[in-house]
């Protein structure tokens, strides 16, 4: 199974500042035949299902604010929130969908400093 490891486990950032969350996979999730990384990022707020933010590692889902961006390839990925807003307080997860079993990171709890 591909193991997804996020860092840090928790993060406190001031409003308007940048937040960066990292995700590392135990093996590459890049598929060379279509040049895509099978990596997604989700935001989860209490009592809600995970909400898709980013797919193919860097494609922003429709309706997601452009302060959210994803980058990386192969085994190392980053979610960046360029200017933290109060509504961004949540837990963030990475997930690979390269092959089954699909696995998730342990989550990063983002708070306001």
Partner 1 sequence: QVQLQQSGPGLVKPSQTLSLTCAISGDSVSSNSAAWNWIRQSPSRGLEWLGRTYYRSKWYNDYAVSVKSRITINPDTSKNQFSLQLNSVTPEDTAVYFCARAGISGWYWGQGTLVTVSS
Q: Contact with partner 1 (CB under 8 A): which of 25, 95, 108, 110?
A: 95
Q: What is the DSSP letter of 86?
A: G
Exposure on the CB side of residue 37, measured as CA atoms within 13 A? 25
Binder among 46, 86, 100, 113 for partner 1 (CB under 8 A): 100
How many chain residues are in contact with partner 1, going by CB under 8 A? Answer: 20
| Contact with partner 1 (CB under 8 A) among 19, 21, 30, 107 | 107
The answer to whether residue 16 forms part of the interface with partner 1 (CB under 8 A) is no
Within 21-40, the residues that bind partner 1 by CB under 8 A are 40
| Conformation bin of residue 26: beta by default, left when phi > 0, alpha when psi is -120 to 50 | alpha
Q: Give min distance, CB of 113 to partner 1, in A.
A: 25
Q: By three-state DSSP, how is residue 87 classified?
A: helix
Among 2, 61, 74, 82, binds partner 1 (CB under 8 A): 61
54 vs 79: CA distance, rounded Å: 9
Q: Is 4 helix (H, G, I), strand (E, B) or coil?
A: strand
């Amino acid at each position: 199974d591909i193991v997804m490891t996020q860092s840090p486990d928790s993060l406190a950032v001031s409003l308007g500042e940048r937040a960066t969350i990292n995700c590392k996979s135990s093996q590459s999730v890049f598929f060379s035949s279509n040049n895509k990384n099978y990596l997604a990022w989700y935001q989860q707020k209490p009592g809600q299902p995970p909400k898709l933010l980013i797919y193919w590692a860097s494609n922003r889902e429709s309706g997601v604010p452009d302060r959210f961006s994803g980058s990386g390839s192969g085994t190392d990925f980053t979610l960046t929130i360029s200017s933290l807003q109060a509504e961004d307080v949540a837990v963030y997860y990475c997930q690979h969908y390269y092959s089954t079993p699909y696995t998730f990171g342990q989550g990063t709890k983002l708070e306001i400093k």
